[in-house]
């Protein structure tokens, strides 16, 4: 699935050595790739390898993880819906439609591909007010205009460099309400040498767990919980998917 080129020193994952994988990221190439994916109701499945069962397992796992986090955060109510969330790298709104809109009153979205955001804009969720602002831009450009209970970032950070990801995390940290939480749900590198992996097909990087944790720390965030998404059939040899729940360091 992902090709490994370039290197990052595994012992010091934020220190780039020669030609680090994220230096190969080309935003124009990523957007070309995603613009070539049909923006139909099946688009999310196409993005996820056309496995219809994938999205069911994925969304159920997300709901269970968020419930755990809500129980952990002192002062946060576990009853009822959260007030506001944002779905970052939202695509056509698979996560918003299948999960976030069930647990949050209003869900904003950040997504750079206009034909995907057009699907969200035209959805009944937008008409009902369950989808709020839709920002047509990459996460590297997005500057939050309000505070959120939940900033959900899934399967998209591979499209930004380590530096861009670091500054995005700092902006997200500052955009949380007092009991707010950032959740990352991302593929994890399986490179045998512990390197991030560059994938030429969509010009993205799959990071190691160590790299993610170093970036979270640098951005002033604590990992309050982290676990693997379970339940994907092993014979498909998919990359591991890991959740991280992040709160500002006190």
Ligand X SMILES: C[S@@+](CC[C@H](N)C(=O)[O-])C[C@H]1O[C@@H](n2cnc3c(N)ncnc32)[C@H](O)[C@@H]1O
Q: How far apart are CA 78 and CA 66, in angstroms?
A: 10
Q: How far is the CB of 146 from ligand X (least distance, A)?
A: 19
Candidates 2-10, 76-84, 112-120, 240-248: pick the segment binding ligand X (CB under 6 A): 112-120
Among 73, 95, 106, 188, binds ligand X (CB under 6 A): 95
Check: CB of residue 142 under 8 Å from CB of residue 174.
no
- Restricted to residues 47-66, the positions that interact with ligand X (CB under 6 A) are 47
Among 160, 169, 188, 246, binds ligand X (CB under 6 A): 160
Interaction between residue 112 and ligand X (CB under 6 A): yes
Only one residue has tokens 């993610």, namely: 212
What are the backbone angles phi and psi of residue 70, rounded to the nearest 5°?
Answer: -65, -35
Structure tokens belonging to residue 141: 């450009």
Q: How far apart are CA 95 and CA 107, in angstroms?
A: 10
Q: How far apart are CA 183 and CA 154, in angstroms?
A: 8
Q: For residue 141, how many other CB atoms are within 10 A of its CB?
A: 14
Structure tokens belonging to residue 218: 């640098």
Among 16, 34, 97, 187, binds ligand X (CB under 6 A): 34
Among 84, 85, 108, 159, binds ligand X (CB under 6 A): 159
Q: Taking Cα atoms as reference points, which of 57, 87, 111, 44 lies closest to residue 238?
A: 57
Interaction between residue 111 and ligand X (CB under 6 A): yes
Q: How far is the CB of 240 from ligand X (least distance, A)?
A: 16
Candidates 155-163, 187-195, 215-223, 232-240: pick the segment binding ligand X (CB under 6 A): 155-163
Among 139, 151, 188, 197, binds ligand X (CB under 6 A): 139
Our CB check for ligand X shows the closer of 94 and 207 to be 94
Shortest Cβ contact with ligand X: which residue?
138
> C-alpha angle with apex 11: 7 to 13, nearest 5 degrees?
55
In the complex, the residues that contact ligand X under the rule CB under 6 A are: 30, 34, 44, 47, 89-91, 94-95, 111-113, 116, 138-140, 154-156, 159-160
């Amino acid at each position: 699935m992902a090709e490994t080129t370039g290197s990052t020193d595994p012992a010091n994952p934020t220190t780039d050595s020669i030609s680090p994988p994220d230096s190969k990221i080309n935003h124009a190439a990523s957007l070309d790739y995603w613009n070539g994916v049909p923006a139909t109701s099946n688009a999310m499945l196409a993005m996820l390898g056309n496995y219809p069962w994938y999205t069911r397992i994925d969304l159920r796992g997300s709901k269970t993880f968020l419930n755990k986090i809500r129980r952990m955060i002192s002062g946060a109510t576990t009853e009822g819906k959260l007030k506001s969330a944002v779905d970052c790298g939202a695509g056509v709104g698979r996560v918003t439609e299948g999960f976030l809109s069930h647990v949050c009153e209003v869900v904003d979205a950040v997504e750079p591909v206009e034909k995907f955001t057009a699907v969200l804009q035209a959805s009944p969720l937008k008409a009902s007010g369950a989808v709020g602002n839709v920002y047509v831009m990459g996460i590297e450009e997005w500057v939050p205009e309000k505070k959120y209970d939940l900033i959900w970032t899934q399967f998209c950070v591979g499209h930004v460099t380590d530096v861009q990801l670091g500054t995005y995390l700092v902006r997200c940290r500052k955009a949380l309400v007092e009991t707010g939480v950032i959740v990352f749900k991302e593929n994890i590198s399986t490179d045998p040498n512990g390197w991030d992996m560059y994938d030429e097909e969509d010009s993205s990087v799959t990071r190691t767990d160590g790299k993610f944790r170093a970036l979270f720390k640098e951005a002033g965030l604590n990992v309050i919980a982290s676990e693997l998404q379970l339940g994907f059939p092993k014979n498909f040899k998919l990359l591991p998917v890991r959740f991280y729940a992040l709160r500002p360091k006190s």
